[in-house]
Amino acid sequence: MGMNRKKRLLLGSCVCFVLVAGCAANEQELHYRELSEQEFSEKDAQHEEENHTTEESGNEKSNQQPVIENDGNTTTINGIVVVNKKYGVPADYAPGEDPTASAALHQLIADMQSLGLDISQDYSGFRSYETQADLYSSYVNAYGQEQADTFSARPGYSEHQTGLAYDLKHTNGMLVENETEAQWLLDHADEYGFIVRYQEGKEAITGYVAEPWHIRYIGEEATDIKNSGLCLEEYLHIE
C-alpha cells in the first residue's frame, strides 16, 4: 500500500506539472498573440494614417487654385505664360522670338540632325497678330469656321504670337508628322525646355487636333509636365 501511495503522489505531481506547464504555455501563447494583435493593430493604424495623409496631400494638390496674373500683355499661370482659346494677348503685342527659346530650339534641331533625323533648319516661329489673322481667315474661307477652329487659332489667341512656340518641318518643307521624328520630340523635347503642346487624346481639352510638329518652350518645368502625362491646361488646372 505504501508503494502504491508513493506512485499515486508521483503521478499526481506529474499531472500538476503538466497542467501548470500547459497553463504557462497557454498564457505565453496568449501573451504573444496579444502582442501580435497589438502590433498588427498599430501597423494598421499607421498604414491608415499614412493613406489618409497621402489622400489629403493629393486632394490638396488637385484642389489647389492656380495663381493667375496678367501684366497687360500676357497671362501667366503659376509662372507659365499661357495662351489658348480662353487666354489671349493684345493685337499690338509683338515681342518677336524669345531669345532663350530660340537658342534651345536651334540646339534641338542641331541634335536631331546629328542623329540623322529628317528635320529642317526651317521652321515657323513668331507670328504677328496680323499674320495670324490672315492665316485664320484663309482657313475659314477654305474649311468653314467650325473646322478651322480645330486646327487654327483665332488672331490674338495663338501661342506663336508669344515668341515661345514653333512648328517644325521635315526637309521637304512639310510639317513634322513622321512617326520617328514625332516620337523623338515626345521623348526628348523636354530636355531642351519644350513640350509637345497638342497631343493625341487631349483634343477635347486643348480644343485643337493633335499637332506633333508644334512645340512650346516652357523651361525647366517642361520635364515635370511631360512626366505628368497631362496637357498644359490639365497641369495648371485651368480651362
The string of pLDDT tens digits covering residues 182-238 is: 999 999 999 999 999 999 999 999 999 999 999 999 999 999 999 999 999 999 999
More confident residue, 137 or 18: 137
- In Å, what is the CA distance from 236 to each residue of 17, 27, 143, 190? 75, 60, 32, 17
User: Catalytic residue among 69, 211, 220, 234, which?
Assistant: 211
Domain with CATH 3.30.1380.10 in the chain: 99-235
64-89 average pLDDT score? 95
Do 87 and 75 contact (CB within 8 A), yes or no? yes
pLDDT(59) > 80: no
Give the C-alpha separation, 124 to 13, whole Å: 101
pLDDT band at 63 (very low <50, low <70, confident <90, very high): low
Helices and strands in the chain, H and E counts: 8, 7
Q: Cβ distance 74 to 89 under 8 Å?
A: yes
Question: Of 193, 191, 190, 192, nearest to 229 (Cα)?
Answer: 190
Residue 17 has pLDDT above 60, yes or no: no
Residue-wise pLDDT for 38-57, tens only, equals: 443 444 444 444 444 434 43
pLDDT for res 239: 80
Task: Tell me what pLDDT residue 47 has.
Answer: 41
* Mean pLDDT to the nearest integer, 92-108: 98
Checking if the pLDDT of 162 tops 80, the result is yes
> How many other β-carbons are positioned within 10 Å of the β-carbon of residue 192?
20
Q: Mean pLDDT over residues 61-70, rounded? A: 77
* Nearest by Cα to 154 from 174, 134, 168, 171: 134
| Average pLDDT estimate for 76-81 | 97
Single-letter code of the amino acid located at 88? G
Please list, in sequence order, all residues whose beta carbon lies within 8 angstroms of the beta carbon of residue 177, skipping any fewer than 6 positions away. Answer: 170, 212, 213
| CATH code for residues 99-235 | 3.30.1380.10
pLDDT at 52: 43
pLDDT at 58: 37
Confidence at residue 5, expressed as pLDDT on a 0 to 100 scale: 45
Top pLDDT among 14 and 158 is at 158
Query: Phi and psi dihedrals of 186, rounded to 5?
Result: -60, -35
How do residues 136-149 score in pLDDT, each as one tens digit?
999 999 999 999 99
**11 or 134, higher pLDDT:** 134
203 in active site:
no
